Amino acid sequence: MTTNAERHGRAVYPGSRMQPGVVADGYGDFDTCRPYRHYGRLRKQEWQQDCAPLLEALTRYDAARLQLEKEGGDLQDLVRLNGILQQKFTLQSWEGKVSVSLVDFKSIKSTLEYIGAGLHLDVRRLITGMPSYYLCRKRYDHIAPYGVIVEDVYRSEGYPMPEERFVKLMDCGKEKYHLRLAVFREKLRERLVPEEGIPMEYRLDAALFTTGRQVFQAAWHEDQRPALQAAVHFELDLFQQAIELFYLALSGELCDLRRHIDDHLLDFFATVYPQPAIHAFLQQLRALDGEAINNIPKKALVQYSRLTRAFGIFLRVEVAWGNRKTAMPLYKLLFGNFSRLEKVGPMLKNDPELAPAISQLERQAARAIQAMVCP
């Protein structure tokens, strides 16, 4: 088996620090947070080959865990499960062959650093006390608030992910939010036309990273979670579009974004992640001069303030709740049932007070979007 150093024709020495080199085709991009994390030329079949023993161990463990959780078992089943966690397997890295087990979490993470390709393994304890695993590939820009997850490699059934857009991963010794753009990978693959000489996996990585860096770093934020959870479960489509639009307009580097707007980026927000408000905003931004761009945040702040006031009014609407149909303000239901809103939304669907409140908020969102994207 060839090592990564042999594949790339050069060695990377501990203590060296790579310089960032992000380019459109995905070549030459390095993570500046750590040495030797190489993204550019490591082919998918190569890192998959290196990770195959880890994936086999994870699959074997989760099969045993799920059987125990769903069908029950005895002490012997727990002993067998523990044996799977303790069982050694071999990973190939820059250092050579390394013998690890699923309980050697630090050793696995260190080995994945040497394998490269942005591989990251995260482990979380389930309510049963059992570990669950998430293996992904991420790219990190040291000047951006969030890393970008560009591919889901493995995810244990039941691995806790309360917010599909954001995932907390341990990074440089701290837990940090990462934008999970891996959910768009296969849909984006359908939209990209193959180019000779540039592997599709490189192009997917580069496209997701660029979209995350230029748009989603500003348009998505963890403090949006209450508003966007309400938007999802109460079907506030225009309100969600408006929230993302105003965060982009207020937090984004608009001059730099204008430089990156091309047909591929516009197509992303038309087909891969349909977002008409951002799509229209990008089209408009593409033609603006510097002075007009400087005026955007001021206009956005006015409309955003109006929208947040309208959302506040929406949250104070009282709906009938429970068997006794007690009048309850919506904000209490939202924050009191935050992790199970998928059950609250359908229960309130026919409430006579909710429908007009939704219509009013959606009308305000439509007016706010129109004020931003129409001349």
**Nearest 5°: CA angle at 57, between 55 and 59?**
65
> Stretch 321-335: mean pLDDT, rounded?
83
pLDDT at 85 over 90: yes
pTM to 2 decimal places: 0.83
Structural tokens at position 340:
């199970």
Which of 199-203, 250-254, 350-354 has the weakest average pLDDT? Answer: 350-354
CA 208/CA 226 separation, integer angstroms: 25
pLDDT for res 342: 78
> Which residues, including other chains, have CB under 8 Å from residue 300's CB and lie 6 or more apart?
246, 249, 250, 372
> Stretch 102-112: mean pLDDT, rounded?
88
Q: Which residue has the higher pLDDT, 16 or 156?
A: 156
Q: Using DSSP bridges, classify how beta strands 318-321 and 326-329 pair: parallel, antiparallel or unpaired.
A: antiparallel
pLDDT for res 42: 61
> Stretch 234-248: mean pLDDT, rounded?
95
CA 252/CA 198 separation, integer angstroms: 30
pLDDT at 196 over 70: yes
Domain boundaries of the chain, sorted by first residue: 4-191, 221-373
Phi-psi region of 28 (alpha: psi -120 to 50; beta: other; left: phi over 0): left
> Which residues, including other chains, have CB under 8 Å from residue 373's CB and lie 6 or more apart?
245, 277, 280, 281, 284
39-84 per-position pLDDT tens digit: 444 678 888 888 999 999 999 999 999 999 888 878 888 899 999 9
Amino acid sitting at position 2:
T
| Residue pointed to by tokens 């206009």 | 299
